[in-house]
Structure 1
Amino acid sequence: MAGIGFTLERMTCGRSLSSTIGAYIYAAFLVAGPWIFTVISIGGMSLATCSSEDCPDLQVFRSVIIYNSFVCAILSSPIAFVCTRFVSDQIWMKRYESVTFAFVAGLVLFSVCALALAMPFYAFATTLTGIEVLSALQNLMLMGAAWLLIPFLGALRSHVAVTFAFGLGSGVMIGSILLAPAAEPVHLLFAFNAGLCLIDFILTWCLVREYGLRLVPDPALLRTALTYWELPLIGLTYALGLWIDKLVMWTSSPVGIVRVAGALDTMPNYDTPMFWAQLAAIPILAVFFVHVETNFFRLCREFYGSLANHVSRRQLMLMMSRLYRFVMAKLFGLFVALTAIGLIAILTSFVAIEPLGLRASQMGILRVALTGMVFQTSAMFCFVFLLYFDLKRQALLISLTYLVTNGGFTAALLPLGFPFFGYGNMLASATTFLVALLVLGRELPWLHFHVFVTNNTSLHPAAVAVRPRPRALGLRLRRPRAAQRPGSA
């Protein structure tokens, strides 16, 4: 979905430096707002209270947040992929009455699955107290709601509200710690949940204001999940691929595993550098969201729109060639930018090692993780381009490749000990990027075949009910109220 990217792109073209910076901040929150909030919160709370060694209860809070982030990623990603496709089709057909229902249905499904998975674990497998279990489950629900809201926000163009929500939520969380400092898990979870609850409330209010509070059930939501069965599977395998190396380390590492509350196993020496490395990619993701995605959408709209004008085969091939050159040039530019960000992060980490909560012994893992981040994020860009062309099975191949290689290489290198921690993720990321680049390069010259055969709804009757016509991105997002005004774009 193009959505808010066009608004942010116009902001970057202004003469004001503040509007340009604001556009990239908005984009960063839309790309990974809950993740940014989570990582910074863990680091901020560590500095506001005390270190994990001096305050064991802080390690309990940290472990609960990490486990909830893992569960949210696994459960919310398949739901978000399906909801995004359903909502994009509804907006394309100017049917807005079921958008709120899609969010509520996704949230209910997530809540049922999350509670069924997390409640027995926290209640019976851990030694958390009753109030701590309730706080952990509340955190899980709030975090899942935040992740599920993100796909809907691109359709709203409420960039100011998004930034205000995350800024105010962070302020409430930090203020709760400063006004009543304590290291008990319940207090830390309360502060985190208070900020997250405020974020969810503001974002939900924006959604309801735009699409209304009335719930209109639509069976097309279920048909979307069944017809495009690859989408939930892509979301599941992609999320698992991002976390599988941590799971391998938590369960099989010969050294460094920390167990708290009886069953919460983590590995801070490995987890913290990996989390910070993933966060380093956010600036380039924002650039991709604001500039690359919007320009790519324009080319796709020109290419697919030309089919309705019965262009010649020569003109069609010229447009395909433009798309091919654009995609490959942007991939190269993004890879170079990611490499520069990785090098800057490595050099900066020598100075900012303590504020990041790292030790000197973790610098090796951080350097390897930043290298892996360059390849993994580049592979993700290839993955996104494939999804824009509706090449779902090819995208599934990329996510499966990362899942298998990340888990396999990490497990294979474990016996070599601490000096080789992180190399499994780096090798998996490089392998996945190579596969993704080859798959994308192979498919781009065959776009006309995919338009007339692979993605032709007239040849796939089951898809007609949920997909109005073949297209690249699936929609041009518009505000429902603006769409009703004469002369509006």
Structure 2
Amino acid sequence: MVDLTFFLRRLRDRNRVGGTLQAYGFAGVLACGACALALAGLLPIAMRALPDRLPAGLSSALAMQFQVSATCLIVASLILTGPLQLHLVRFAADRLAEGRGELVLPGLRATGLAVTVLAGLFGVACLLWAFPQQSAPYRALMLAGFVLMCHVWIAVAFLAGMKQYGTIACAFLAGVAGASVAALALRGFGVEGLLGSFAIGALVLLAGTTMQIHRHHRSRRLLSFTVFARRHRYPSLIAIGLLYPLGLWVDKLQFWYHAGTGQAVIGPLHASAIYDIPVFLAHLAVVPALAVFLLRIERDFVAHYDAFVDAVRGGGSLQRIEEARNAMVRAVRLGLYEIVKALAIAALLLFALGRPLLALFGMTQLYLPLLHVDMVAAGLQVVLLATLSLYFYLDRRREVLLLGAALLALNAGLTHLTLTLGPAWYGYGFAFAVLIVVAIALVLLDRRLERLEYETYMLQ
């Protein structure tokens, strides 16, 4: 992430206050992730269905049907394309490192063709089987939105791997703006009109990302299926791309379809108001902590990591290598310390503002304990995301794979247990699952950093 490092440093160095705020703001947008940005973009679109009412009206049937439908499209497309995202980025990075950049764009197109076929077949099968009572326009727009979002995730993952972060942020802003304007014109057509505006926003987003990709990468070949060749496969990355999103969403799925917590909204799609809103507020509260750690990684850890790699490749002395490794460890510890401070501040603010925030969404104070638990779980998730990013820097894919599998198994099992125990335990399943995985991840990371010199030289 060298390009991002320089970009954040330029923002921070413009002036003492404004540049720092811009750097943290940009880091916060990136730290949210594409999925969080897409989910947040649903709110202004849904509001177009409620011209005369503000947040208190978000529980209306029309807005709820649209939000649940669009969230389903986002989550399903993210999980379906997850196995291909990391694989494609690694393929592109390897080809560029080999000086064979002409294979990158054809490989991306081949991946897009595969995604179109898979998403189209899966989407048609689901719509025919699961939505027989919905209108034909609704089903057609759901299929179009699903295919478009699958392509969006592939394009966004590719741009993120190529360090085109500014393009991603601008494309999402353009997509949300386009969808919001379209929602004003189409709100008279009910949920179909809102889904149409969502599809238009996805199309704008896809167009923006695709044009930027073709601007920076050119090739005379149209398609190249070498991206799927055996020698270019990365089974661990494919598995990580599937397990990790499932691990993060499996508790939400259980709450959606549990008899005591979920409710049918449209067709087979369910929602859980008692769980979804506290989770959303908790994740919104930890965005500053995400920005703090992302900025700390890009400013300190990457510099020390590059120094360590340069010392190893350049034949540096053992003392120089150890100093670089010790600096990396200090950067990790300082980053974790700062993220804990940011999370503590966010938790205090959320605890203080919990009642009015819940009231804004029409929820009683009985949900305050769940909001507090979700805040702790979201904070632990930030620590987990930060730790996994360090593992990827160190190219420890096996550990990331094991942690992703553990998160999925623990989250599914503990959430099921808490649903059985009753409302007093809601939220604890995800919180304890993330806590256990974070503890394992930190212990393994400490051991890896301690043995870094040995593994660098002896296990190559």
Do both proteins adopt the same fold according to a TM-score greater than 0.5, normalized to the shorter chain? yes
Gaps of 5+ in 1: 457-489
User: Which residues in structure 2 correspond to 1:268-347 (within 5 Å)?
Assistant: 268-347=273-352
Specify which structure has the bigger relative contact order, considering alpha-carbon pairs within 8 angstroms and separated by 6 or more residues: 1
What SS does the aligned partner of 1:212 have? coil
2:229 to 222, 237, 242: 222
Q: What is the rounded CA distance, in whole Å, between the counterparts of 1:296 and 1:48 in structure 2?
A: 44
Q: What is the rounded CA distance, in whole Å, between the counterparts of 2:23 and 2:278 in structure 1?
A: 28
2:389 to 384, 389, 407: 384
Contact 1:57 1:185 in 2 (8 A): yes
Of stretches 301-310 and 234-243 in structure 1, the one that deviates more from structure 2 is 301-310
Q: Which residue of 1 aligns with 2:211?
A: 205
User: Which residues in structure 2 correspond to 1:238-257 (within 5 Å)?
Assistant: 238-251=244-257, 253-257=258-262
Q: What is the rounded CA distance, in whole Å, between the counterparts of 1:183 and 1:29 in structure 2?
A: 32
Q: Deviations over 1:406-445 (max 9, x none)?
A: 1111011112222321111111111111111111111111
In the TM superposition, what is the alpha-carbon distance from 1:294 to its structure 2 partner? 4.5
The answer to whether 1:232 aligns with 2:238 is yes
Q: What is the rounded CA distance, in whole Å, between the counterparts of 1:431 and 1:43 in structure 2?
A: 33
Identity of aligned residues (%): 24
The answer to whether 1:393 aligns with 2:398 is yes
Q: What is the rounded CA distance, in whole Å, between the counterparts of 1:449 and 1:75 in structure 2?
A: 38
Q: Deviations over 1:195-214 (max 9, x none)?
A: 22112111111111111264
Contact 2:46 2:66 in 1 (8 A): no
Matched positions, count: 453
What SS does the aligned partner of 2:15 have? coil
Which letter maps to 1:246? K
What SS does the aligned partner of 2:291 have? helix
Q: What is the rounded CA distance, in whole Å, between the counterparts of 2:324 and 2:289 in structure 1?
A: 27
Q: Counting helix residues as a fraction of each chain, which structure ranks higher? A: 2
Contact 1:61 1:188 in 2 (8 A): yes
Q: Which residue of 2 aligns with 1:173?
A: 179
Contact 1:29 1:36 in 2 (8 A): no
> TM-score scaled by structure 1?
0.84
CA distance 1:202–1:435, change in 2 (3 Å): same
The answer to whether 1:426 aligns with 2:431 is yes
Contact 1:11 1:23 in 2 (8 A): yes
Q: What is the rounded CA distance, in whole Å, between the counterparts of 2:19 and 2:172 in structure 1?
A: 18
Q: What is the rounded CA distance, in whole Å, between the counterparts of 1:17 and 1:193 in structure 2?
A: 39
In the TM superposition, what is the alpha-carbon distance from 1:194 to its structure 2 partner? 1.4
Gaps of 5+ in 2: 51-55
Q: What is the rounded CA distance, in whole Å, between the counterparts of 1:201 and 1:32 in structure 2?
A: 22
User: Which residues in structure 2 correspond to 1:91-240 (within 5 Å)?
Assistant: 91-126=96-131, 127-154=133-160, 158-182=164-188, 184-212=190-218, 214=220, 215=222, 217=224, 219=226, 222-223=229-230, 226=233, 228-240=234-246
Q: Which residue of 2 aligns with 1:35?
A: 35
In the TM superposition, what is the alpha-carbon distance from 1:54 to its structure 2 partner? 6.8
Q: Deviations over 1:371-421 (max 9, x none)?
A: 101111102211111121111111112112211111111011112222321
Q: What is the rounded CA distance, in whole Å, between the counterparts of 2:75 and 2:12 in structure 1?
A: 34
Contact 1:26 1:162 in 2 (8 A): no
In the TM superposition, what is the alpha-carbon distance from 1:354 to its structure 2 partner? 5.0
Which letter maps to 1:438? V
In the TM superposition, what is the alpha-carbon distance from 1:335 to its structure 2 partner? 2.6
What SS does the aligned partner of 2:14 have? coil
Contact 1:30 1:154 in 2 (8 A): no
Q: What is the rounded CA distance, in whole Å, between the counterparts of 2:385 and 2:231 in structure 1?
A: 24
Q: What is the rounded CA distance, in whole Å, between the counterparts of 2:17 and 2:96 in structure 1?
A: 33
Contact 2:12 2:19 in 1 (8 A): yes
Which letter maps to 2:267? G
Q: What is the rounded CA distance, in whole Å, between the counterparts of 2:301 and 2:59 in structure 1?
A: 51
In the TM superposition, what is the alpha-carbon distance from 1:361 to its structure 2 partner? 4.2
Q: What is the rounded CA distance, in whole Å, between the counterparts of 2:181 and 2:274 in structure 1?
A: 29
In the TM superposition, what is the alpha-carbon distance from 1:158 to its structure 2 partner? 4.7
Q: Deviations over 1:272-328 (max 9, x none)?
A: 322332333333333333441343222122112212332333333332222222222
In the TM superposition, what is the alpha-carbon distance from 1:235 to its structure 2 partner? 1.6
Q: Deviations over 1:144-188 (max 9, x none)?
A: 222222233246555554333222222222223334534721111
Q: Which residue of 2 aligns with 1:448?
A: 453
Q: Deviations over 1:113-162 (max 9, x none)?
A: 33333321222212222111111111112222222222332465555543
Which letter maps to 2:446? G
What SS does the aligned partner of 2:157 have? helix
In the TM superposition, what is the alpha-carbon distance from 1:28 to its structure 2 partner? 4.0
Q: What is the rounded CA distance, in whole Å, between the counterparts of 1:28 and 1:224 in structure 2?
A: 37
Contact 2:49 2:62 in 1 (8 A): no
In the TM superposition, what is the alpha-carbon distance from 1:259 to its structure 2 partner? 1.2
Contact 2:293 2:336 in 1 (8 A): no
Which letter maps to 1:374? G
Q: What is the rounded CA distance, in whole Å, between the counterparts of 1:156 and 1:389 in structure 2?
A: 18
Contact 1:259 1:265 in 2 (8 A): yes
In the TM superposition, what is the alpha-carbon distance from 1:233 to its structure 2 partner? 0.9
Of stretches 356-365 and 328-337 in structure 1, the one that deviates more from structure 2 is 356-365
Of stretches 196-205 and 310-319 in structure 1, the one that deviates more from structure 2 is 310-319
In the TM superposition, what is the alpha-carbon distance from 1:2 to its structure 2 partner? 3.8
Contact 2:244 2:404 in 1 (8 A): yes
In the TM superposition, what is the alpha-carbon distance from 1:329 to its structure 2 partner? 2.3
Q: What is the rounded CA distance, in whole Å, between the counterparts of 1:146 and 1:248 in structure 2?
A: 27
Q: Which residue of 2 aligns with 1:15?
A: 15
Q: What is the rounded CA distance, in whole Å, between the counterparts of 2:326 and 2:393 in structure 1?
A: 17
Which letter maps to 1:151? A
> TM-score scaled by structure 2?
0.89
What SS does the aligned partner of 2:335 have? helix
Q: What is the rounded CA distance, in whole Å, between the counterparts of 2:298 and 2:228 in structure 1?
A: 26
Contact 1:168 1:199 in 2 (8 A): yes
Q: Which residue of 2 aligns with 1:6?
A: 6
Contact 2:8 2:23 in 1 (8 A): yes
CA distance 1:109–1:54, change in 2 (3 Å): same
Q: Deviations over 1:221-252 (max 9, x none)?
A: 534653x321111121111100111122233x
Q: What is the rounded CA distance, in whole Å, between the counterparts of 2:198 and 2:187 in structure 1?
A: 13
What SS does the aligned partner of 1:256 have? coil
